[in-house]
Amino acid sequence: MAPKRNAYSLFAAVSFVLLACGRAAAGEGVDPNASFHPTPAPPPAATAPQAETQRRPPPALKQTPRAQTVRQPAAPVSRALPPSPGETRFRPNEVVVEFSGRAPAAAVDALRRRHRLDEIAASRILLLGEDVRVWRAADGRSAAAILRELSGEPLIAAAQPNYTYALQQASDAARPAVAGQYALGKLRVDAARSLASGDKVLVAMVDTAVDETHPDLKDAIAAKTDTIGGALWSLDHGTAIAGAIAARGAIEGAAPKARLLVARAFEASPSGPQGTTMSIAKGVDWAVGEGAKIVNMSFAGPPDPELRRVAAAAAAKGVVLIAAAGNAGPKSPPLYPAADAGVLAVTATDADDKLFENANRGKYIALSAPGVDVLLPAPNGGYDLESGTSVAAALVSGVAALVLERNPGLSAEALKKTLVSTARPLAGAGHEAEFGAGLVDAMQALGADKPAAKTQ
């Protein structure tokens, strides 16, 4: 038996050597400690990484299909913004819908018809570079219901209620005992008259129409537009605001040589003159296009995403926006557009520098100006005593025009800083929520224009 084992061992050794030589010829290493088994050799080592690469694709390849799925209709939903709970200051069955300028008109119209809506207004808002439309449901659907239906439409850039705004002024027929204007003296405009009068400065007002025949407003209006159409049923508020800014007769405004751009954006309603998101957006857009440096907004209402974007776009073009803080009283939440970032909110004070009793309060208040029993022009050649933050805002717009006349190159931010930093504090520290920085001072603002210009 021993000779057989030796023969077998010799055969195995020879076979092992031959196999090793074959592997060496193929470029493989040989483990001298390895045992020999008469089984097929495993696949070449290079094969394993190739198979592993096929089974485990790079992470980017795995995520690509999921990213494409996420992009589909989720984004448009967040752009249809319903009114806040409890908010009622909007047209109940209307929505403002914004489309990219690239949206095909036929596709937009098909979308409107599919949702059974009537188009009542349409305009290209150049400040936004978008087409804006107002759609109405004739079948009684609410604005919130319409917005829910439109929320999944990818063609829509933004959608919201057509919010409404009220003018911030109360009129009282002028009493014969009223002999003059305390307002200009309080603002020290009278003392500054030899320095500036607003000459050639374009001040826009988004308001009602104005009685252009009033003798105190002769040649005051440089241009006008009508964003709503229809009969000119009310001129009262617009005439008073125009007078506060630029009257030049028996009554003088803060800037009697300023030139007015009048955008009619308020129409009749059961509760009084009413403007909307659409009419106001069109008015501001037109005013900026006409070259306005200052836009007066003597109205107030709810927070409005569309108007916030319009105001921001106007500010980005170097326009100063001045707004009435509101007449809703001390317990009212902030009113807009005054409470929007970048807008100067103005409250009203009386002849004794006391706060107007109906004025809003809040951290958004920037400045104070007279706004109680201020004598201003009225339609048909008359005069009325006017009260409200509307009047105060208009007077500040006039003072801003004085500063711009003195320094036409002043940036919008520098102009706002000048008005705020030179205001006279009222009631001491801790009352900023009532008076803001204080009472506007035309003389100080005119003396501070050069230092403020360095902040451009």
Query: Of the candidates 326, 296, 325, which has an alpha carbon nearest to the alpha carbon of residue 311?
Result: 296
In this prediction, residue 45 carries a pLDDT of: 41
Write down the pLDDT at residue 443: 97
For range 230-243, the mean pLDDT: 91
Look up the CATH number of the domain holding residue 252.
Answer: 3.40.50.200
Q: Provide the pLDDT for residue 373.
A: 95
Mean pLDDT of 124-146: 96
**Contact predicate 143/95, CB 8 Å:** yes
Range of the domain at 448: 168-453
Q: Is 15 a catalytic residue?
A: no
Cis before 215? omega within 30: no
What is the reported pLDDT for 269? 81
**What tens digit of pLDDT does each residue of 158-210 get?**
999 999 999 997 766 554 444 458 999 999 999 999 999 999 999 999 999 99
Instruction: Pick the last residue of a domain from 163, 187, 216.
Output: 163
The continuous run of DSSP H or E covering 253 comes out as none
Q: What does the pLDDT read at residue 171?
A: 62
Give a yes or no: residue 20 inside a domain: no
Are residues 139 and 193 both part of a single domain?
no
Q: Is the pLDDT of residue 405 over 50?
A: yes
Confidence of residue 230 (pLDDT cuts 50, 70, 90): confident
Stronger pLDDT, 33 or 376, i.e. the higher one = 376
- Model pLDDT, residue 11: 43
Active site annotation includes 390: yes
Does residue 44 form part of some domain? no
Q: Has residue 428 got a pLDDT over 60?
A: yes
Does residue 388 lie within any of the structural domains?
yes
Of residues 197 and 429, more confidence is placed in 197
Predicted local confidence at residue 102, as pLDDT? 84
Q: Which residue carries 């300028």 as its tokens?
A: 101
Q: What is the mean pLDDT of residues 435-448?
A: 93
Residue 204: in which H helix or E strand, if any?
strand 202-207
Last residue of a domain, one of 114, 129, 163: 163
DSSP secondary structure code for residue 76 in this structure:
H
Q: Of 136, 163, 190, which one is at a domain's C-terminal end? A: 163
Residue 313 lies in a domain: yes
At 30-88, the pLDDT tens digits run 343 333 333 444 444 433 333 333 344 444 434 444 444 343 333 444 488 999 999 99
In-domain check, residue 356? yes
Q: Quick one: average pLDDT of 323-342?
A: 97
Q: Minimal CA–CA distance to 281: which of 169, 128, 396?
A: 128
Catalytic hit among 197, 214, 234, 237: 237
Amino acid 169: pLDDT = 77
Q: Are residues 407 and 439 in the same domain?
A: yes
The residue annotated as part of the active site, out of 131, 207, 216, 449, is 207
**Do residue 150 and residue 175 come from a single domain?**
no
Average pLDDT (307-335) is 97
Residues 242, 248, 250, 253: is their CA dihedral positive or negative? Answer: positive
Q: How far is Cα 122 from Cα 131, in angstroms, rounded to an integer?
A: 7
Is 37 annotated as catalytic? Answer: no
Residue 40 lies in a domain: no
The domain tally of the chain equals 2
Q: Is there a single domain that holds both residue 339 and residue 247?
A: yes
What confidence score (pLDDT) does residue 172 get? 61
**Residue 421 pLDDT > 90, yes or no?**
yes
Q: What is the pTM of this model?
A: 0.80
What is the average per-residue pLDDT within 20-33?
41
Residue 410 and residue 318 share a domain: yes
Percent of the chain with pLDDT over 70: 79
For the ranges 38-47, 103-112, 131-140, 187-196, which has the lowest average pLDDT? 38-47
**374-377-381-385 Cα dihedral, nearest 10 degrees:** -20
CATH number assigned to the domain comprising residue 122: 3.30.70.80
Answer whether residue 25 is part of any domain: no
In-domain check, residue 26: no
Catalytically annotated residue among 390, 397, 441, 449: 390
Average pLDDT (365-394) is 96
pLDDT over threshold 60, residue 445: yes
Q: Are residues 216 and 320 in the same domain?
A: yes
* Range picked from 73-77, 344-348, 425-429 for highest mean pLDDT: 344-348
Q: 378 and 242, same structural domain? A: yes
Determine the pLDDT at residue 88: 96
Query: Are residues 108 and 246 located together in one domain of the fold?
Result: no
389-406 vs 412-421: helix axis angle to the nearest 10?
120
Residue range 404-410: average pLDDT? 95
368 vs 176, which has greater pLDDT?
368
Co-location of 202 and 185 in the same domain: yes
Give the per-residue pLDDT at 427: 79
My answer on whether 266 and 381 are in the same domain is yes
**pLDDT tens digit sequence for 244-300:** 999 999 999 999 999 999 999 998 788 888 999 999 999 999 999 999 999 999 999
Q: What is the pLDDT of residue 181?
A: 81
One domain for residues 202 and 94: no
Q: What is the DSSP string of 127-151?
A: TTTEEEEEEE-TT---HHHHHHHHT
Residues 143 and 219 grouped into a single domain: no
Average pLDDT over residues 438-447: 96
Q: Which residues of 172-194 are buried (b: 16+ CB within 10 A; e: fewer)?
A: eebeeeeeebbbbebbbbeebee
Mean pLDDT of the chain: 84
- In this prediction, residue 334 carries a pLDDT of 97
